Amino acid sequence: MSSVFTPAKLIVTLLALPALIIPAFALGYIVYQGSSVISWQFLTSSDALDGFGNSSGILGQLTGSLLLALGGCLIATPIALGAGLFYQLQANPRQRKLLESVLYLLQAIPPIVYGLFGLVLFVHLLAWGVSLLTGMLILAIVVLPALTLNTITSLQRIAPEYSEAARALGLSDSALVGRVWLRHARLELITGQLLAMARALSETAPILFTATVFSGVVWPESLLSPVTTLQTHIFYLAQEGGNPLAIQVAWGSALVLVASVALFSLLARKLKSIGEQ
């Protein structure tokens, strides 16, 4: 690498600049607009719902988002873990290939299609309606492929000597899984969970007409009642063109949402770097 700044490097730099400036500017703009609204009261109150969503606080929305994401991840975890262990413990090469294909295909399906599927099966055929439960199940399917693939790679990283030693000691399958594999892969498995939370928190389309309503709900009363979320709150408020207050609340909600997603992905990043040491 030469240190001289040649015309070629200048061209690459000029081409690169929009790619660097626009995202930085966008992030800065969200922080700038959002921070003027955010206060302790904004985060912790849910009162003054006047029917147009102009509540002065977003506690209900924040809770709804977190509940949906957490529920989705909790539902997906045993399935992802089970399928990952199946892959590593007992699958033959053909089954492995098949499971991989299924996961890649699931990953390629756009989230809104999961929303349509949930609308047909959960909302109407099973008559669960627009509800928290429907949303959790849809988000579980959304995060399932990435979570399973993460389980598989985490298990593959465990040095084979551990498994061989465990086998030589005569450990059963369940002891091997419980005492050796899960213990060794735990940091990476938790990293996967955090990334899945970040993913579930950022999804809007699949829950838009299957789990959420715009207003009228602060706390969901049961699994079968609808919720409000930050994502859909932003979506509806953004379209309230004539109401400057609504747009302000939208920016504030956007900043809170971005911060929550970033929190989960930064935690995941931190854990990953601890695991690699």
Own/partner pairs for 42-49, CB < 8 Å, 24+ apart? 42/252, 43/256, 46/218, 49/215, 49/216, 49/218
- Subset of residues 8 to 47 that bind other proteins, contact rule: CB under 8 A: 8-9, 12-13, 15-16, 18-20, 22-24, 26-27, 29-30
Where on the phi/psi map is residue 91: left (φ > 0), alpha (ψ -120 to 50), or beta? Answer: beta
3-state helix, strand, coil in the chain (%, to 5): 75, 0, 25
Nearer to other proteins, 19 or 159 (CB): 19
Q: How far is the CB of 212 from other proteins (least distance, A)?
A: 11
Minimal CA–CA distance to 206: which of 131, 119, 107? 119
CB 48 within 8 A of CB 56: yes
Residue with smaller CB distance to other proteins, 47 or 82: 82
> Least separation, in Å, of the C-beta of 244 and other proteins?
11
Match 């602060």 to its residue by tokens. 218
Mark residues 202-241: x for contact with other proteins by CB under 8 A, - for none. xxxx--xx---------------------xx-xx--xx--
According to the binding rule CB under 8 A, does residue 154 interact with other proteins? no
Q: Which of 59, 89, 158, 267 binds other proteins (CB under 8 A)?
A: 89
Q: Decide: is 274 part of the binding site for other proteins (CB under 8 A).
A: no
Interface with other proteins, residue 108, by CB under 8 A: yes
